Chain A
Amino acid sequence: MAAPSAAGLCRRLRAWLPRIMPVRWSRYNPSYLEPEVKKESYQKPLEELTEEEREQMDLKAVRPIKAAPPTLSSSVFSDPMISKFTNMMMKSGNKVLARSLMSQTLEAIKRKQVEKYHKAPENEKETIECNPYVIFHQALKNCQPIIGLSNITRGGKTYQVPVPLTDNRKRFLAMKWLITECREKKHRRTMMPEKLSQELLLAFNNEGPIIKKKHVLHKMAEANRAYAHFRWW
């Protein structure tokens, strides 16, 4: 009883006070600069900097700087793609669980690859990739669709038009497909790290259901290539 009335109240209050309710965009003044987290940029001596880098440094001396978000880290072990994937796996804000699942996934990948390495004959040992980060990045890259479909309405009918995708959208689609595939299509009792490591290894070798999904999307785009002229951008 309290929850629906609170939501309705919140909506009415938001309509009445448009400036006071929090919005999704950034509330920083446009003059605020992004924080520089990489240690290497501060260890460079002054003479090696180019003109634009010197200008940037002078600008930083006078302008205020935004607070660094807790997800941004200067550690060598942090990877923005892995952080993004962890956030997408997270449910109800349980970052601890999502992070542990991610580390278990990487460990599972490493274990499988090391086992394969030790079982392989001498001449094939170099071809086996053991670094789980490399496998993760390559698998994601193989899963990214190259062209997408978007709904465009002309004369009352909606057509699926092939459309180029931005990098962010490709990355998002690849990660989303991976996670939904693991959550829905596998057996209920298998653990997430196991399912994920299996899918990532298949995607690394260009096999598996996610690569098939990508191919299906490409085939549909190819079938609808006559409607490509409906795009206006």
Chain B
Amino acid sequence: MAAPAYPGWVTRWVSGQWRNKKRPPTLRPPRTLALADKVANRREQLTEATCITEMSVMMACWKQNDFNDAPCAQEIRMFYDCVAKAEKERKNQNEDTLSSRGNLPSSKVNKLLKRFPQITRYV
């Protein structure tokens, strides 16, 4: 016989792979390898404080005039305008658009993902 045909187990045994400690696959995923319907909770980056320049201008005016309100009326009005504008901007910003930094907070992402869940089984 030119090429003796041994059974498969013989070839495997002879090749010594069992001696090389052939192991079953070490990665045994406990869950299905599919994307989950939520992201981890991330601490949102804090936005900066608004109207700091107007406030410091007003305080400088106060220091000069011994904290009287009458001479500082212009600065106080500017501070109030800035505060009203910032408040309006906060109210107007839509919840579903991106924040100023271009990130969606994790709670909103989870809400969206819940609306379109991953299909894990086909019926």
Contact = CB atoms under 8 A, between A and B. Distances in A.
Interface of A: 142, 146-147, 162, 164, 206, 215, 218-219, 221-222, 225, 228-233
Contacts of A146: 58, 69, 76, 79
A231 B55 CA distance: 13
Interface string B44-88: 001111111001101100110001111000001001000100000
A164 B59 contact: no
Q: Which 10 A-B pairs have the closest CB atoms?
A: A231-B49, A232-B46, A164-B83, A222-B59, A215-B67, A218-B67, A228-B52, A229-B49, A232-B47, A225-B59
B90 interface: yes
A132 B5 CA distance: 117
B50 A233 contact: yes
B67 to A, nearest CB: 5
User: Could you say which interface size class chain B belongs to?
Assistant: 20 to 34
A229 B69 CA distance: 24
14 contacts: A146-B58, A147-B58, A164-B51, A206-B69, A206-B70, A215-B67, A219-B67, A221-B59, A222-B59, A225-B56, A231-B49, A232-B49, A233-B49, A233-B90
Contacts of A229: 48-49, 52
Given A222-B62, A229-B49, A233-B49, 16 more contacts: A146-B79, A147-B55, A164-B55, A164-B83, A218-B62, A219-B67, A222-B59, A225-B59, A228-B49, A228-B52, A229-B48, A229-B52, A230-B49, A232-B48, A232-B49, A233-B47
Nearest to A146: B76
A229 B47 CA distance: 10
Contacts of B62: 218, 222
Given A146-B76, A164-B83, A222 B48 contact: no
Interface string B75-111: 0100100010000001000000000000000000000
Contacts of B76: 146
A147 B72 CA distance: 14
Contact of B55 (A142, A162, A219, A232): A162
Contacts of B56: 225, 228
Contacts of B59: 221-222, 225
Residue in B47, B55, B68 whose Cβ sees the most chain A Cβ within 10 Å: B55
Contacts of B63: 222
